A and B are shown apart, each in its own frame.
Chain A
Amino acid sequence: MDSSITLGGSPGADLTKLSDREKQELQQFVVNESQKARIQQSIHSLTDICFRKCITAKMSSGKLDRTEEPCMQNCVDRFMDANMTVLRQLEQMRTQM
């Protein structure tokens, strides 16, 4: 995502005019939006990985068929399991050092 927030052409958006409470609300809003963006980024990356693995047959319908749907679901869950395994393994290595 584009990291810069351009406020060009909107003279009303003057940060100095905000009250402390508004500034805090805005800060919280940015934190929440960043988290949402991170989650969406993960969804894009998981879809990319799992589409490659699960949608291998000739595409005859726009819907996911009986095998594709569970494959995509399993793919998401197993990817996350695998990710947890890596983290646990690394944690173990750290404590053994």
Chain B
Amino acid sequence: MIKRSFFKSKYLPYLLILPQMLVTLTFFYWPAIQGIIQSFLLSDPFGRQSKFVWFYNYIELFTDPLYLKSIFTTLVFSIAVASVSISLGLFIASMANRALRAKALVRTMLIWPYAVAPAISGIMWLFLLHPSYGVVALAIKKWLGVDWNPVLYGSDAMVMIVMASAWKQVSYNFVFFMAGLQAVPKSLIEAAAIDGASPFKRFWYITFPLLSPTFFFLTVMNIIYSFFETFGIIHTVTQGGPGGSTNILVYKVYQDGFVGLNLGSSSAQSVVLMSLIIVITFLQFKFVEKKVQYGG
């Protein structure tokens, strides 16, 4: 993996890596350290006094039923987003893969929502599901007989943000599944067909297992997406309500830190999130390593 051929220069390599190091140190390491320190402090927003309080902020956090509820909400939300968008993405991709004609056109028609900002997706779905104007809300009320009201009912609000978040993500998943499907060896499929396996069986026993690395990768990416990038959707659509039912972790960091000015608690929450994502990354790399071994 490592190159054996190198250039020799005394200062150049340092000069070249300098911008990257500067940016990483100033905007990653320094803030990260500051955040960790801050999470052990209680300080007033104006920064005149701060007090070292050991794990007070963490204890408060994990004894706060609301925070525990927020963790639960985040899990429900991210699992819902991941499963809806992955299954739809896979479904559409396998359909598109069958359609030999117009593959490029289909891809073009499906790819663009990737470029739509989460907040904008939120605005559009807010209108579709608006309790008094939304056409989809109207359909739900009329055909399903549900008393649709995301302003009042937490579960309705959750459905609303899941729709807005998953919609945008379908195209992302679609692109990966398309690539994965095209990489499945034609010979395998043909051999199975000669043996009389139906298209569904072929998909289930051959294609699907071969897609599993993609599947795992997308699960991780979708969960990370729903943990962080959906902030814009929450902020435009529900602001965490009603009754805190859509208050996911990253939104709570913002609310407590920037609206409520409770710096200690907000920092502790950031540290928790940071640890969480380190664990996820670690798991993912462990998996990727496995894949490499499998391939080699």
Partners in one complex: no
Chain A interfacial positions (CB closer than 8 Å to B): none
Chain B residues proximal to chain A, CB less than 8 Å:
none
